[in-house]
Amino acid sequence: MTPAFDSRRVYDVWQKLISDEELYERLLEDRHRELRDSRGLSEEDLAVLDDFRREPGLRWNIQNLRFRAADHVKVVLQVYLPRTLYFLTKGEDGWLRDLVYEYVAYHRWHEYGRSYLTECIRFARYVRERIAQRRRLPEILDPVMALELAVVEVLRETANVPPEAWQRGPAPDDAALRAARPRWGPAMKIIDLPVDFTEWIQTGDPSHGTVKEEPVALLIRVPSLEESHRVQRLSEGTRLLLERCTGSRTTAEIIAEVEDELGLEPAQVTNMIQRWLADGTLRV
């Protein structure tokens, strides 16, 4: 008869078995008691392991769990870091599966479940601290990963935005707009990249398109919780205008500044600010 064990202890020992590759291999060989002292295993822990070993299909259960964990992480990374994965593996799915399996194994088979963005940040750190130390990575990978991590950062910011901050007020008339102090909406970030690969962003396919060897500024934002994030290329003029919309200046003051510095007509500035208010980039 199978002895009765405390369910919490069984769960803890099972988690230890999954994460400890050597303990798992020793258990299959019935040598797990050799690790008693080094792993701090109690007699009851060892008895639980004995019981696991008697269960048919132990090896299949462990390997299936590991495969599912790696497959889940692979799907998450393909959603949030698709271009990073492409340049790491040249688009080869078999290589990608091996890479993700190795990554999850390195972290002792602990994956973050529904904390998708946290998983992406940890994977990027793994790329920089592990993969980059043993093979030369494509030069384009660093700016590509920087952009995708910036998107992840903006998406994470949405968790801290109060519901009322997403609300957009009615469009102000001309007089009210000139007196208003436009400011950024929630969950926004400007990122500077040394090369311009916005063509990939538009097509969604890094295997097609060209990279322009020129710096580019990109605006990343989440318009609302019902909409996907947006990535927009900024010209020098639109960036300088947007950076002045901090809530500390009135629209009239901004118009005067950019007219002197950039030669923009007041109507151009007003139209730009109105458009940004309409799409949620700015608030007043």
276 and 189 in one domain? yes
Q: What per-residue confidence (pLDDT) applies to 169?
A: 79
For residue 113, give both structure tokens: 């479940």
Kindly tell me if the per-residue pLDDT of 2 is higher than 70: no
Structural domain of residue 75, as residue ranges? 61-138
Cα of 165 vs its chain's centroid, Å: 23
pLDDT tens track for 155-205: 999 999 999 889 887 888 888 999 999 999 999 999 999 999 888 887 777
Tell me if 2 is assigned to some domain. no
24 and 66 in one domain? no
127 and 92 in one domain? yes
246 and 178 in one domain? yes
242 and 182 in one domain? yes
* CA pair distance 275, 27, nearest whole angstrom: 65
187 and 266 in one domain? yes
* CA pair distance 18, 12, nearest whole angstrom: 10
Asked if residues 259 and 269 have their Cβ atoms less than 8 Å apart, the reply is yes
Tell me if 69 is assigned to some domain. yes
Q: What per-residue confidence (pLDDT) applies to 1?
A: 40
Asked if residues 284 and 182 have their Cβ atoms less than 8 Å apart, the reply is yes
Tell me if 151 is assigned to some domain. no
CA angle 264, 268, 272 (to 5 degrees): 120
Asked if residues 13 and 48 have their Cβ atoms less than 8 Å apart, the reply is yes
Which single residue is written with the structure tokens 């109690």? Answer: 42
Q: What per-residue confidence (pLDDT) applies to 57?
A: 87
172 and 128 in one domain? no
Kindly tell me if the per-residue pLDDT of 21 is higher than 90: no
Give the domain-ending residue among 103, 138, 173.
Answer: 138
Beta-strand relationship, 230-234 and 188-193: unpaired
262 and 178 in one domain? yes
* CA pair distance 204, 83, nearest whole angstrom: 9
pLDDT tens track for 64-111: 888 999 999 999 999 999 999 999 998 899 999 999 999 999 998 888
266 confidence band (pLDDT: 50, 70, 90): confident
170 and 94 in one domain? no
188 and 250 in one domain? yes
Mean pLDDT along residues 132-146: 92
* CA pair distance 70, 102, nearest whole angstrom: 9
Tell me if 145 is assigned to some domain. no
**How much is the pTM?**
0.85
Tell me if 190 is assigned to some domain. yes
Question: How many domains would you assign to the chain?
Answer: 3
CATH number at residue 224: 3.90.930.50
- Mean of pLDDT over the chain: 90
Beta-strand relationship, 230-234 and 282-283: unpaired
> Terminus-to-terminus CA distance in the chain, angstroms?
72
124 and 95 in one domain? yes
Asked if residues 220 and 188 have their Cβ atoms less than 8 Å apart, the reply is yes
Tell me if 153 is assigned to some domain. no
183 and 276 in one domain? yes
